[in-house]
A and B are shown apart, each in its own frame.
Chain A
Amino acid sequence: MSEKVLMKGNEALAEAAIMAGCRHYLGYPITPQTEIAAYMAKRMPKVGGTFLQAESEIAAINMVIGVSAAGKRAMTSSSSPGISLKGEGLSYLAGCDLPAFVVNVQRGGPGLGGIQPSQSDYFQATKGTSHGDYHMLVLAPDSVQEMVSMTFKGFDLADKYRMTVMLLADGTMGQMMEPVSLDMGEVKEYDKPWAVTGTKCEREHNVVNSLFLKPEQLEVKNFERFEKYNYIEENEVMYEEYLMDDADICIVAFGIAARVSKTAIDMARAKGIKVGMIRPITLWPFPKKALRAAADKVKSFISVEMSMGQMIEDVRLATECTKPVLLCNRVGGMIMTPDEVLAKIEEAQKTGGNN
């Protein structure tokens, strides 16, 4: 099946989750991701799955813990304020080493904020979702096709590493339609000997738990988890390079900001400005090595993001502050225009990034 269909990001993502073997969707509606729940409500009963609208976001994430502990692929989705509510459950998932797939179709904040697209949950997703030492694998698609491929891959990574994979999209990615191929290949099945599936009096009880009262034991748990994280940082980084071969200026952008930046880069190239882009697809693990290598070649970086400047901190860390990093941003549900990015590129060209 290679014929492309025109689908909304939210709906394409939902179909991809079903194709990835997810049969349990637990959610609670919130704009701009409600189409995911609506699609699941229609499709899940037809494939023998469960669609459940919980009484709250908190209930939904705790149901995800239950389904995952039983060894099944589970997902929930929400938008920014709803993800904050799920924070506690996300920490418990990490503490229990359970796989889960969680979608955040971001909107402007803080607080209830607005319903237009935003990327201001970058810190939340990559660093501070909730308490304790843990990471989620964070995937940032920039097209409807990637909404699909990253969902499919996300379920695989979650099972492979027994951890939460968050797909960090935004209102634009969720609402836009683009041609998409749903040809995803085979689902890889993982053994889950740890799952709570009933002993049938044939084995010891499995216990899924995040409570370890002995500090020696809890420390070891944390050390082990971070060995896994180190492995992921070495092996699972994904990014796209765009016109970087001869670039003097390197834009760093993800999601919709990367799409806008691509248009701006093409405009700048037409004016003879050598600018390219490194687009992180995994926000955690962040493509540190690619940026560090780029820092030896380019004169400056521009972080293009729809926040007050969150990812820019990771760009500075990754490049060890060897080159200036400018910020091009809009917030509150506003999206930068290609012209605004172009103006920042021209500023970087003129000043070498030094204001």
Chain B
Amino acid sequence: MTTNMLIAGFGGQGILFSGKFLAYEGLLEEKSVSWLPSYGPEMRGGTANCSVIISDTPVGSPIVSTPDILIAMNMPSLDKYENETVAGGKVFVDSALIDRKLQRTDVEAYYIPATKLANDEGLTGLANMIMLGYVIAKTGIIPFENVDRALLKVVPASKQHLIESNKKALELGYNYAE
């Protein structure tokens, strides 16, 4: 089984970080993983995206052009990638920043006002992790029980005090799914 994910939004939302978190957890689960960021001028203030692949078999192309799971954290990202998502795929939308529904009917749509929840709960800047908690709940892409160990790996040593808030954000998103 191979899951191709595309996480897209604007620079500063922690798009690349959330992708790295997922990839690291996949690695700790002893899966094959790859993480590939956009690195063009657009990452300096425009759209940012990253491809994450988690697979039971060696990863071939690390480039995700047709995602099984799309996470859209702003409107341009949804506009750009909605039609690229595979039929039967899952599309996650930050409904606090995207005020339209999906046009496609052959994919599963999930809406969570991640940015609003982050602001309301004093977790400003952690909409990415709220979204991920929700994605984990809806897809089972990685086991939620193990998020701690991946956080330890991806949060730099100098910023370990942020693990708690990241964990809180993940739980908020995870519980939102119920």
Contact = CB atoms under 8 A, between A and B. Distances in A.
Contact of B61 (A4, A6, A32, A263): A263
Contact of B60 (A31, A116, A175, A262): A262
A6 B20 contact: yes
B10 interface: no
Nearest to B65: A337
Given A260-B60, A260-B63, A176 B36 contact: yes
A268 B129 CA distance: 38
A115 interface: yes
A171 B63 CA distance: 12
Taking chain A's interface residues, is the majority helix, strand, or loop, or is none over half, making it mixed?
Answer: mixed
Nearest to B39: A175
Contacts of B24: 6
Interface in A9-45: 31-32
Nearest to A180: B27
A172 B60 CA distance: 13
A221 interface: no
Chain B's interface size range is 20 to 34
A259 interface: yes
B33 A335 contact: no
Nearest to B150: A6
B112 to A, nearest CB: 26
Contact of A176 (B35, B40, B65): B35
Nearest to B57: A266
Contact of A266 (B35, B37, B39, B60): B60
B34 interface: yes
B55 to A, nearest CB: 11
Interface centre among B20, B33, B35, B39 (most CB of A within 10 A): B39
B162 interface: no
Contacts of A176: 34-37, 62
A338 B61 contact: yes
Contacts of A238: none
A236 interface: no
B39 A4 contact: no
Interface in A147-201: 171-172, 175-179
Given A4-B27, A6-B23, A338-B61, A115 B39 contact: yes
Interface in A112-160: 115-116
B35 A263 contact: no
Given A176-B34, A178-B33, A6 B63 contact: no
Contacts of B62: 172, 176, 178, 256, 259
Contacts, number: 59
Interface string B145-160: 0000000010000000
A178 B35 contact: yes
A110 to B, nearest CB: 19
A171 B23 contact: no
B163 to A, nearest CB: 17
Nearest to A177: B35
Contacts of B141: none
Interface centre among B27, B62, B65 (most CB of A within 10 A): B62
Contacts of B23: 6, 177
Interface in A279-321: none
Interface in B120-157: 153
A262 B60 CA distance: 6
B59 interface: yes
Contacts of A178: 33-35, 59, 62
Interface centre among A6, A32, A260, A263 (most CB of B within 10 A): A6
A260 B62 CA distance: 8
B87 to A, nearest CB: 15
Contacts of B39: 31-32, 115, 171, 175
B98 to A, nearest CB: 27
Given A6-B24, A31-B39, A179 B61 contact: no
A123 B63 CA distance: 26
Interface of A: 4, 6, 31-32, 115-116, 171-172, 175-179, 256, 259-260, 262-263, 266, 335, 337-338
Given A175-B39, A263-B61, 17 more contacts: A6-B23, A6-B35, A31-B39, A32-B39, A115-B39, A171-B39, A175-B37, A176-B35, A176-B37, A176-B62, A177-B23, A177-B36, A178-B33, A179-B33, A256-B61, A337-B63, A338-B61
7 contacts: A4-B27, A175-B37, A177-B23, A178-B34, A256-B61, A262-B61, A338-B60
Report the 5 A-B pairs with minimum CB-CB distance, sorted nearest first: A263-B60, A177-B35, A262-B60, A260-B61, A176-B36
